[in-house]
Amino acid sequence: MIDLRPVRGTRDFYPPQLRLRQWLFDIWRRTSAQFGFEEYDACILESEALYVRKAGDEITEQLYSFQDKGNRRLALRPEMTPTLARLILQREKALGFPLKWFSIPQCFRYERMTRGRKREHYQWNLDIVGQPGNVAEVEVISALIMSLEAMGLDASRVRLHVNDRRLLGEVLDHIGIPAERHLPVMVVMDKRDKVAPESLAAMLAEQGLTGPQLEKLNAFLAMEGLDEVQHALGDESAGARALDDLLSLMGRVGFGDTLVFDITVVRGLSYYTGTVFELRDRSASLRAICGGGRYDSLLSTYGGPEIPAIGFGFGDVVILELLGDLDLLPDLRSEIDYVVFPFSDEQVPAALEISQQLRRKGYRADADFGSRKLKRALQRAGDMGARHAILLMPDEMARGEIVVRDLERREEQRVGLEEFLKQTK
Amino acid sequence: MIDLRPVRGTRDFYPPQLRLRQWLFDIWRRTSAQFGFEEYDACILESEALYVRKAGDEITEQLYSFQDKGNRRLALRPEMTPTLARLILQREKALGFPLKWFSIPQCFRYERMTRGRKREHYQWNLDIVGQPGNVAEVEVISALIMSLEAMGLDASRVRLHVNDRRLLGEVLDHIGIPAERHLPVMVVMDKRDKVAPESLAAMLAEQGLTGPQLEKLNAFLAMEGLDEVQHALGDESAGARALDDLLSLMGRVGFGDTLVFDITVVRGLSYYTGTVFELRDRSASLRAICGGGRYDSLLSTYGGPEIPAIGFGFGDVVILELLGDLDLLPDLRSEIDYVVFPFSDEQVPAALEISQQLRRKGYRADADFGSRKLKRALQRAGDMGARHAILLMPDEMARGEIVVRDLERREEQRVGLEEFLKQTK
């Protein structure tokens, strides 16, 4: 016997799991369309070179990468943003900016598995490219919150923690970290929730932070209000001003309750340049549900022009676990309009013909050839989520009649087959 | 500058291509639902062991395979049927047979690229598992033909060529090929359209066929009617009887015109055991559009019980090319109900708020912050497929009014903002 389990860290989707996944994807697609985003996609395989970065991003250490039969270094994409950048740069001249694009790619990371963390997940990516300033932030974050509402999640359950890399940069400046160390320091800071304080301190020391600098950094990270940070910085802060404006605009469009300023939000990807945000379960039992931010320099690091961009990635694994915990998953059943049951071999061709005629009329119809007893047939029809069962019994069929049973009303009637097919249309 | 092209043999899907793909997937999903099939899926990564076969299948030589960081031998799936078998065997006891399942997986094969052949494609897989005999054939083939009709293809454009591996086995028996050579001989026979006659003859000689045997085989392969083959075989032929019954049932459900018996159809996969079929463009400009067949022994080769099964794989690349050649691709545009245009910075927050309120009411709404001149704004609204443009002009806004323009009727009216938001619901 071969090993029947899926590859470690990956999932099988039997019909019940697939229905849930489709329900989630439908919410993502509907929300995207409501905001005017268009869907794009690309192959799950990309050149490994697309993910080479200098700042020590965890993601590049977790690549599923290999050499193909033509000696190309390839990788299964760990995230979609580099692919988005590639697509845009490839046709930059022909595309009309700003672009509002979304995708639901499967992404892979070879990492230790814990609850809410597999080696693959599907991730709703929603991005606005070519739009500077907070209007893009408002659109992207509003779409995110609308999708949560469609899942039954509101500000009492989840909060969007927002920060700004520019503000973090000002903080690091303030405590005397040279600009060229900002990015690697931020990548380390992002591990704050994942490693013990001593390990984090050691990693920051490795990045050149002195004891007093670490102390000052921790003092900043303990601050709760934007005013407090602004006050501690002393100087006029561009990061704080941008955040203040964003929070006020989000209030105006009606989502003020869901947003909260959080100076500890960094995000692990080195390409973020401005706003960063993380959606968190308020019961805090799970890690970040979704994260994103502004990345105005990513396209230029690939050799293209500077094009402002912002977006997020929202994975399916964590949210489905959270919705399950909160008992918010819908009860999705299979559904069909008619199931035809032949009760002897002679009725089999008629069953095929009747179900096919019903489909021609636009109905969802099925035929069941294995349930030759009435009780079993009705049970099977129920399992299949059928509205009606059509019973082909030898005596009735000899008279050109069928029995149509309404499974909801538990009523049945004998009708002529011809007549029935004329009626239903 | 990094290489911006997709990995060789793979495709990018910009929004226009994605819309076409989605249109095709929707037809596949709708048809599947109409026939009572349920969707499943699994990860694109599988254990390489799932594809190890003895009969020389081309598919196992074209694997994208590699070793992961945990030293597992993995492969990107080249086809879905082994995964389907794995899923079924994993839960065999809990599943209610017959299963009618479908999936639209992406599949990979590292092969030479020609027209209609990439290294990845999406493939509609539709299978009935646990149903012996021709009723499953009728359901699966009918679903295939219904999906073609939804694309605008009928019997004048495409034909389904059917054959039966049992009949081919009888032919090979008849010309004296020992049973254990049947499978490798059939795998070679399938290359008939791809290699020159001399190469094919050489490959068959390698499989032990003598000159006279090859001659007899070619005589059989030149026969057009099922009667003729039956007559040449002499003995009662189970394969011919099954085919005869299938053709008659397909006539009864109304698809007789689309099917044609074709003794040259073999299919390249070694696991087929009965009916095999191939959908071909009647202009014959492209290779097989879709293929499938019965594989009653696949599950037992993985160590499970014998469970009868039949299905097909229908790729997206060839069909989209064919539909393009026949000018049958739909003209799909992006669509949105409202686009809001602020004509100065002061109107930006109002634009965000109005578009968000429209979304709350269920409309698809967008705001455009870059088109500050009327002519440009209306052109942009047209490009976005908008039904209405909402123009926020400083003077009108000062009076609490907006201009709503119906882009189809080319009419516009000034209305109070409050009133407008009350009206639209």
The domain segmentation of chain A, as residue ranges, is: 15-325, 336-423
Which of A39, A254, A360 lies nearest to residue B356, judging by beta carbons?
Answer: A254
Q: How far apart are CA A23 and CA A27, in angstroms?
A: 6
B142 to chain A, minimum CA–CA distance in Å? 8
**How much is the pLDDT for A168?**
97
**How much is the pLDDT for B365?**
97
Q: How far apart are CA A41 and CA B173, in angstroms?
A: 50
**What element of type H or E holds B367?**
strand B365-367
Q: How far apart are CA B6 and CA A253, in angstroms?
A: 39
Q: Which two tokens stand for residue B389?
A: 């443009």
Chain mean position to CA A43:
17
**How much is the pLDDT for A317?**
94
A314 to chain B, minimum CA–CA distance in Å? 19
Q: Looking at domain A336-423, which CATH architecture does it have?
A: 3-Layer(aba) Sandwich (3.40)
What distances in angstroms separate CA B54 from CA B180, B183, B269, one per listed residue?
12, 9, 11
Q: What are residue A108's DSSP bridge partners?
A: A120
Q: Taking CB atoms and an 8 Å cutoff, what residues of chain B touch A369? A: 98, 131, 135
pTM over 0.90: yes
**How much is the pLDDT for A288?**
83
- Taking 70 as the pLDDT cut, the residues of chain A under it are 55, 115-116, 284-286, 425
Q: Are B12 and B77 in contact (CB under 8 A)?
A: no
**What element of type H or E holds B33?**
helix B15-34
Q: Looking at domain B15-325, which CATH architecture does it have?
A: 2-Layer Sandwich (3.30)
B219 to chain A, minimum CA–CA distance in Å? 35
**How much is the pLDDT for B242?**
96
Burial of B63 (0-12, 13-18, 19+ CB in 10 A): buried
**How much is the pLDDT for A421?**
87
Q: How far apart are CA B160 and CA B263, in angstroms?
A: 12
Nearest alpha-carbon partner for B380 in B392, B394, B366, B393: B366
Q: Do B40 and A15 touch (CB under 8 A)?
A: yes
- Taking 50 as the pLDDT cut, the residues of chain B under it are none
Q: How far apart are CA A369 and CA A341, in angstroms?
A: 7
Q: Taking CB atoms and an 8 Å cutoff, what residues of chain A touch B49? A: 2-3
Q: Taking CB atoms and an 8 Å cutoff, what residues of chain A touch B336? A: 36
**How much is the pLDDT for A286?**
59
**How much is the pLDDT for B53?**
77
Q: Taking CB atoms and an 8 Å cutoff, what residues of chain A touch B19? A: 39
**What element of type H or E holds B160?**
strand B158-164
**How much is the pLDDT for B55?**
67
Instruction: Tell me the per-residue pLDDT of A88-99, one tens digit each, with 9 for 90 and over.
Output: 999 999 998 999
* Residue type for position A403: V
Residue spans of alpha helices (H) in B290-398? 298-301, 316-325, 348-360, 374-383, 394-398
Instruction: Tell me the per-residue pLDDT of A336-363, one tens digit each, with 9 for 90 and over.
Output: 999 999 999 999 999 999 999 999 999 9
Q: Do B47 and A2 touch (CB under 8 A)?
A: yes
* Residue type for position A46: E
Q: Do A135 and B365 touch (CB under 8 A)?
A: no
Contacts 24+ apart (CB under 8 A), A394-401: A394/A343, A394/A344, A394/A346, A394/A347, A397/A346, A397/A347, A397/A350
Burial of A342 (0-12, 13-18, 19+ CB in 10 A): buried
Q: Taking CB atoms and an 8 Å cutoff, what residues of chain B touch A139? A: 352, 367
Q: Do A86 and B2 touch (CB under 8 A)?
A: yes
Nearest alpha-carbon partner for A400 in A350, A358, A360, A356: A350
Q: What size, in residues, is chain A?
A: 425
Q: How far apart are CA B29 and CA B25, in angstroms?
A: 6
Which of B10, B44, B356 lies nearest to residue A142, judging by beta carbons?
Answer: B356
Q: Which two tokens stand for residue A34?
A: 């409501």
Beta carbons within 10 angstroms of residue A12's beta carbon = 18
Q: Are A83 and A296 in contact (CB under 8 A)?
A: no
**How much is the pLDDT for A283?**
83
**How much is the pLDDT for A116?**
64
Q: Taking CB atoms and an 8 Å cutoff, what residues of chain B touch A364? A: 33-36
Whether residue B6 has a cis bond before it, omega within 30° of 0 = no
Q: Are A333 and A385 in contact (CB under 8 A)?
A: yes
Instruction: Tell me the per-residue pLDDT of B152-161, one tens digit each, with 9 for 90 and over.
Output: 999 999 999 9
Nearest alpha-carbon partner for B247 in B237, B261, B234: B261
Which of A10, A86, A359 lies nearest to residue B146, judging by beta carbons?
Answer: A359
Per-position DSSP letters for B264-300, written without gaps between them: T---S-TT--SEEEEEEETT--SS-SEEEEE-TTHHH
Which of A1, A110, A336 lies nearest to residue B36, judging by beta carbons?
Answer: A336
Which of A43, A49, A302 lies nearest to residue B6, judging by beta carbons?
Answer: A43
Q: Do B18 and A36 touch (CB under 8 A)?
A: no
Q: How far apart are CA B171 and CA B169, in angstroms?
A: 5
Q: How far apart are CA A226 and CA A163, in angstroms?
A: 9
**What is the 3-state secondary structure of chain A?**
CCCCCCCCCCCEECHHHHHHHHHHHHHHHHHHHHCCCEECEECCEEEHHHHCCCCCCHHHHCCEEEECCCCCEEEECCCCHHHHHHHHHHCCCCCCCCEEEEECCEEECCCCCECCECCEEEEEEEEEECCCCHHHHHHHHHHHHHHHHHCCCCCCCEEEEEEEHHHHHHHHHHCCCCHHHHHHHHHHHHHHHCCCHHHHHHHHHHCCCCHHHHHHHHHHHCCCCHHHHHHHHCCCCHHHHHHHHHHHHHHHCCCHHHEEECCCCCCCCCCCCCEEEEEEECCCCCCCCEEEEECCCHHHHCCCCCCCEEEEEEEHHHHHHHHHHCCCCCCCCCCEEEEEEECCHHHHHHHHHHHHHHHHCCCCEEECCCCCCHHHHHHHHHHCCEEEEEEECHHHHHCCEEEEEECCCCEEEEEEHHHHHHHCC
Q: Are B122 and B15 in contact (CB under 8 A)?
A: no
**Alpha-carbon Rg for chain A in angstroms:** 28
User: Crossing angle of helices B348-360/A238-252, nearest 10°?
Assistant: 40
